[in-house]
A and B are shown apart, each in its own frame.
Chain A
């Protein structure tokens, strides 16, 4: 029998691999669908934004978040793998935190979902540690010289979430309104939360 050619196109190659693994009883397609649904709809930066907004509103919650992030995050109902060892690092007028994984793509899934392409890309992974201020400028974030930049290279099993500064002018907002201002980029540390907001960095 002539051996079937492996299709070069990835759509076909992945389809071919999946149908083989299903045929051999190695994977359950319904479990695959559930996994994808979770990553597309159940986790994501909206979760992290709720955590940050709560911390801005409630000093006691913020304290718990900084001391034991997994427990504080679970209070809002967000749990799933790759988050058990999450640490929250707080920005201030004097300190700006930036998160990267130079060796692969480690990222706090329960609160931010799967990472964007730029976070996993060679340009970000290579330069975030050697030139964080240059990376921040590329994201439109200018930091004064007297601000300390702390880069967290998350190459072990700890995952980092940045607690951004609450912008001035938001004092009368409720938690919901605050959460709508908080971007993924601010929680990775490449941007600040702004108000009036320059939205679009989903």
Chain B
């Protein structure tokens, strides 16, 4: 989705704000929404890609105005209601509907180490063939999907060179929408800074992006 989250290459976002000795969380509510988000994802009603996409679906003005964890609050509020874990009435009132059944948490203190160590699915599955090879020149496709994608706008239509094959990963564009895992190879692709940004960029510099097979085409 060509959204407000796709920030690479903009120059109008103001100066960096650096905080010395920054705490991990700035307020207890930030820590709670962080933990709630991970504990609720353990229900398996939505995956990480869907959760990323839920942030991207925030209205752009809200996305840019809100703090990081404020976005997380609005995302979790939306996810639990949209997936039917909480009704709109329950969310608004903050109370469980009378007579509703009580579940057993998906993530408990006993199972929490398991959830903590769970990685992101990837594999070296030899049955999934790579379409490209290291040192091959490729072009990032000019695509503008209405749903989730991890192909940033600034790289679309640009030509680079594959420097590494990372193995097989789930395809976020389909996985975020429960349209299948479409497992495929991900490659590290080197784009010259001048290819991305024009002749004003340094001739030495480059940007490396990790891109799925379906994002790439032959040159």
B58 at the interface (CB under 8 A from A): no
**Measured between alpha carbons, how far is A25 from B38 in the docked complex, in Å?**
15
A26 at the interface (CB under 8 A from B): yes
B211 at the interface (CB under 8 A from A): yes
A11 at the interface (CB under 8 A from B): yes
How many Å from the CB of A81 to the closest CB on chain B?
Answer: 6
Docked-complex contact A25 and B105, CB < 8 angstroms: yes
Chain A: interface residue total (CB-CB under 8 A) = 82
Binary CB contact string for chain A from 1 to 33 against chain B (1 if under 8 A, 0 otherwise)? 001101000110111111111011111101111
Docked-complex contact B39 and A31, CB < 8 angstroms: yes
B40 at the interface (CB under 8 A from A): yes
Binary CB contact string for chain A from 119 to 151 against chain B (1 if under 8 A, 0 otherwise)? 011111111111111010011000001111111
Considering only CB atoms, which chain B residue lies closest to A22 in the complex? B105
Docked-complex contact A113 and B24, CB < 8 angstroms: yes
How many Å from the CB of A33 to the closest CB on chain B?
Answer: 8
Interface segment among A36-44, A46-54, A55-63, A167-175: the answer is A36-44
Set A31, A126, A128: member contacting B112, Cβ < 8 A: A31
B161 at the interface (CB under 8 A from A): no
**Measured between alpha carbons, how far is A154 from B38 in the docked complex, in Å?**
21
B177 at the interface (CB under 8 A from A): no
Docked-complex contact B94 and A155, CB < 8 angstroms: no
How many Å from the CB of B6 to the closest CB on chain A?
Answer: 6
Considering only CB atoms, which chain B residue lies closest to A4 in the complex? B93
Considering only CB atoms, which chain B residue lies closest to A82 in the complex? B120
Please indicate the chain B residues that have their CB under 8 angstroms from the CB of A130 in the complex: 8-11, 154, 196-197, 201
Set A82, A102, A149: member contacting B152, Cβ < 8 A: A102
Considering only CB atoms, which chain B residue lies closest to A84 in the complex? B119
Docked-complex contact A35 and B39, CB < 8 angstroms: yes
A66 at the interface (CB under 8 A from B): no
**Measured between alpha carbons, how far is A113 from B32 in the docked complex, in Å?**
16
Considering only CB atoms, which chain B residue lies closest to A99 in the complex? B208
Q: Would A156 and B20 be within 8 Å (CB), given that A23-B96, A26-B43 are in contact? A: no
Considering only CB atoms, which chain B residue lies closest to A124 in the complex? B16
Considering only CB atoms, which chain A residue lies closest to B85 in the complex? A26
Please indicate the chain A residues that have their CB under 8 angstroms from the CB of B8 in the complex: 100, 102-103, 125-126, 128-130, 153
Set B103, B186, B207: member contacting A153, Cβ < 8 A: B207
B34 at the interface (CB under 8 A from A): yes
Docked-complex contact B116 and A151, CB < 8 angstroms: no
A157 at the interface (CB under 8 A from B): yes
Docked-complex contact B76 and A17, CB < 8 angstroms: yes
Set A3, A20, A39, A150: member contacting B96, Cβ < 8 A: A20
Docked-complex contact A4 and B92, CB < 8 angstroms: yes
Set A24, A33, A36, A120: member contacting B103, Cβ < 8 A: A24
A117 at the interface (CB under 8 A from B): yes
Q: Would A118 and B95 be within 8 Å (CB), given that A31-B105, A35-B112 are in contact? A: no
Docked-complex contact B17 and A117, CB < 8 angstroms: yes
Docked-complex contact A85 and B122, CB < 8 angstroms: yes
**Measured between alpha carbons, how far is A148 from B20 in the docked complex, in Å?**
28
Set A10, A15, A138, A146: member contacting B70, Cβ < 8 A: A10
**Measured between alpha carbons, how far is A105 from B68 in the docked complex, in Å?**
9
How many Å from the CB of A43 to the closest CB on chain B?
Answer: 9
Docked-complex contact A27 and B19, CB < 8 angstroms: no
How many Å from the CB of A129 to the closest CB on chain B?
Answer: 5
Considering only CB atoms, which chain A residue lies closest to B19 in the complex? A117
* Residue positions of A touching B, CB distance < 8 A: 3-4, 6, 10-11, 13-21, 23-28, 30-36, 38-40, 44, 79-85, 100, 102-105, 113-114, 116-118, 120-133, 135, 138-139, 145-158, 200-202
Contacts A21-B40, A85-B119 known; list 7 others, CB within 8 Å.
A17-B80, A17-B91, A21-B36, A36-B25, A36-B32, A130-B197, A147-B204
- Which 8 A-B pairs give the minimum distances between C-beta atoms? A102-B8, A156-B210, A84-B119, A25-B103, A126-B10, A32-B35, A16-B94, A122-B13
